[in-house]
Amino acid sequence: MIFGVDYYPEQWTEKDWDEDLANMQEMGLTSVRLAEFAWGLIEPKEGKFDFSLFDAILEKIRKANMTAILGTPTATFPPWLFKKYPEIAQVSKEGIKRIIGTRRQASFSSPAYRKATERVVTQMAKHYAGHPSVIGWQIDNEPGHEGSDLDYSPLALKNFRKWLKSKYRNLDSLNKRWGNVFWGIIYSDWSEIPLPGSHVASNFNPAMIQDFYRFQSEELISYIKLQADIIKKYCKNIPITTNLYPSPFLPITDMYEMFKSLDYVSWDNYPVWGNQSEPYPHPLVSATLQYSRGLKNKAYTIMEQFSGVQGHDTLGYLPPPGLIGLWLTQAVVNGADQIYFFRYRTARFGQEQLCYGILDHGKKKTHKFYELKDTIQKIREFAEDIQDVPYKAEVALLHDIENSRNYKHQPLSDGLKFEPVPFAKVGYDIEMATWFAGTNVLNVNTHFLPIESEMDWTQYKLLSLPLYTMYEERIVLKLREYVKNGGTLVLGYRAGIKDKDHWMVETPVPGMFQEMAGVEVYQFEAIGNGEVKAKMGFFPLIAKKFCEILEPTTARVVARYSDSKKFYKGKPMITVNSFGKGKVYYLGTSLDPFSQVLFYRKVLKEAGIPFRFLGKNIERHYRTGKKYNYQITMNHSNQIKWLGFTRMQPFEFKIKKINAN
């Protein structure tokens, strides 16, 4: 188990380095991440390389018996490169050019940028090949973040047209599959096709937007693979990753596809950031961690673990004592086997001087230093015992990048529109997190997996699939076999009604799932941010965002609308259908978090999956280790909680050995 820190020796004087490394070791840290923003230092002039600074710090790291992960420094480019090749800059949807002075400005469609990337990564890989302290490479930094996986530049337009020509072969095919007879937008030359940028009123064709998102995803994935292939050529058997960022479905990039060319997943874990007045709810944090674990279905790395108040322009919530240690523990419990804290010491200058680290702007050891040091000591034995042992679960929640993209440009309901910052459309994320919370709050180990995965689903007693509007036939057939053979499927509203070309099916909702679900839908309404009352037996439920009026064919009614303000009071809202040896639950609405927990309580009981509700702020996981099995309980509340005769302090965690292996 590695505990490390993100370190920026270039931001300090050389005389600070020895003291910094000694303090890291005192904390229990053994590794650092370096160089992910150092292109201008490594290549100060085109073709002229200087590795002296990083050679010097790596030598000190070697002498200290520590290790390093090197970042390729391509997340921002040096001014000389932009001056010579101004076309390498991205253009935003609104037509704003991402000029020098910020970060993530580069167009992945730019030949000049790719050539410059190839040069710097090659020189860096050749220079550090075989270095005894280098244990890994991080490609770029948070690729696609801040909307940088959507580029509307002239080069993107040129490559988009090439991509479309490769996919459709001829314009007749494109016009037909996009449905361009609608509004008479019939293209007769590839040069007529625009980018789906900003618009005055009605949006562009949804099939066109979906293809543009697919194209942009492939541009970024090929760029990351370009770097990975170079590193693999020169640095044999050194694992390669890149670091992802909250929220999981903020980008349009298919991260499952991206990581096929990489060795492990890394995640930047910020349970609170900027001017938030409180952290994200703990089920959302666990959902993001399980998303990271699930992309390759194995242990992952936290490349940036929250260690101090964070923000670029404004600051907010101050974690009380114990909470940053709890967040560290939560990450390890959910499957992380390497943790790098962001950052060691807070920068005194630059755009992130408000991103506080373990130390503040000076060198005085802080309460954060001692809290994290203490937490590392407490969890190290447990962390090393569960390392390399899979995180076991009987439940899995499935997500789909195609539907995440679809709900960005066609959110269906105002309740599914959530845009905290201009580049983040994360309504899909919130819905997925609410579904994840349904089992997390009941303390059931739950995987969070990409539906594209070829994983064997038979290991799960229960699969949940929300917002699977845009279906793929092979997935539906695979789910059909899963249910027929005894599995339980929980299916969300609007399922299976749109193919990958964005054409709506002619059969009623839920389309290809109709026989499995035993239900049809002909009437529905989007209720935006409103609420509709419902009942499941004696339990009151709250429906949100979207309401379908279900018409069972073979299904049995589980819950009905009960709101006297709605004409569909008394009509079915949730059903269950026996299919083969298994069952399909169909939710015709989005439940609020508490209702979701009540619903899953019923589903888990009928599926024979043990659960226990310990309070909305208590999270419990079960892990298998090499020596022991463990029950880990975490109190995410700022209040004392009693679990039977067990007293838990605010933000306390307890790791209990439940038996020996």
Give residue 660's pLDDT: 85
d(CA 620, CA 641): 14
For residue 468, what are the CA distances in angstroms to 78, 318, 443, 471, 661? 43, 38, 25, 6, 40
Q: How far is CA 6 from the centre of its chain?
A: 20
Q: Residues 6 or more apart from 469 whose CB is under 8 A from it?
A: 403, 406, 407, 412, 494, 495, 496, 497, 498
Sign of CA dihedral 560, 562, 563, 567: positive
- Mean pLDDT (the chain) is 97
Dihedral in degrees, nearest 10, Cα atoms 125, 127, 129, 135: -80
Supply 179's token pair: 């449905």
pLDDT digits (tens, 9 = 90+) for 443-497: 999 999 999 768 889 999 999 999 999 999 999 999 999 999 999 999 999 999 9
Of the candidates 246, 415, 263, 220, the one whose C-alpha atom is nearest the C-alpha of residue 342 is: 246
Mean pLDDT of 564-569: 98
pLDDT digits (tens, 9 = 90+) for 226-238: 999 999 999 999 9
pLDDT digits (tens, 9 = 90+) for 626-644: 999 999 999 999 999 999 9
Supply 585's token pair: 């639950």
Residue set of the binding site: 103, 141
Instruction: Report yes or no: 505 and 496 within 8 Å, Cβ to Cβ.
Output: yes
Q: Known catalytic residue: 473?
A: no
Of the candidates 63, 69, 62, the one whose C-alpha atom is nearest the C-alpha of residue 132 is: 62
Give residue 422's pLDDT: 83
Give residue 559's pLDDT: 98
Query: Which of 36, 142, 352, 548 is flagged as catalytic?
Result: 142
Instruction: Report yes or no: 202 and 208 within 8 Å, Cβ to Cβ.
Output: no
Q: Is residue 659 scored above 90 in pLDDT? A: no
pLDDT digits (tens, 9 = 90+) for 291-326: 999 999 999 999 999 999 999 999 999 999 999 999
d(CA 177, CA 501): 6
Half-sphere exposure of 18 (CA within 13 A, CB side): 2
Structural domains of the chain, ranges and CATH numbers in brackets = 395-607 (3.40.50.880), 618-660 (no CATH)
Instruction: Compute the residue count for the chain.
Output: 661
Least confident range from 42-46, 196-200, 499-503: namely 196-200
Of the candidates 65, 59, 103, the one whose C-alpha atom is nearest the C-alpha of residue 82 is: 103
Supply 240's token pair: 């390669």
Q: Which amino acid is at 28?
A: G
Supply 325's token pair: 């240690």
Instruction: Report yes or no: 511 and 471 within 8 Å, Cβ to Cβ.
Output: yes
Query: Which of 36, 146, 304, 652 is flagged as catalytic?
Result: 304
The model's confidence at residue 290, banded by pLDDT at 50, 70 and 90, is very high
d(CA 263, CA 586): 37
Task: Tell me the DSSP string of 281-303.
Answer: PHHHHHHHHHHHHHHHTS-EEEE
- Regarding pTM above 0.85, the answer is yes
Instruction: Report yes or no: 530 and 587 within 8 Å, Cβ to Cβ.
Output: no
Mean pLDDT of 44-63: 98
Residue set of the binding site for substrate: 103, 141
Mean pLDDT of 539-543: 98
Q: Is residue 82 scored above 90 in pLDDT? A: yes
Q: Known catalytic residue: 142?
A: yes
Angle subtended at Cα 24 by Cα 385 and Cα 61, rounded to the nearest 5 degrees: 95
Q: Can you tell me whether residue 221 is helix, strand or coil?
A: helix
Share of the chain above pLDDT 70, in %: 100
Give residue 423's pLDDT: 86
pLDDT digits (tens, 9 = 90+) for 387-426: 999 999 999 999 999 999 999 999 999 999 999 888 899 9
Q: What share of the chain is helix, strand, coil (3-state, %, to 5)?
A: 35, 25, 40
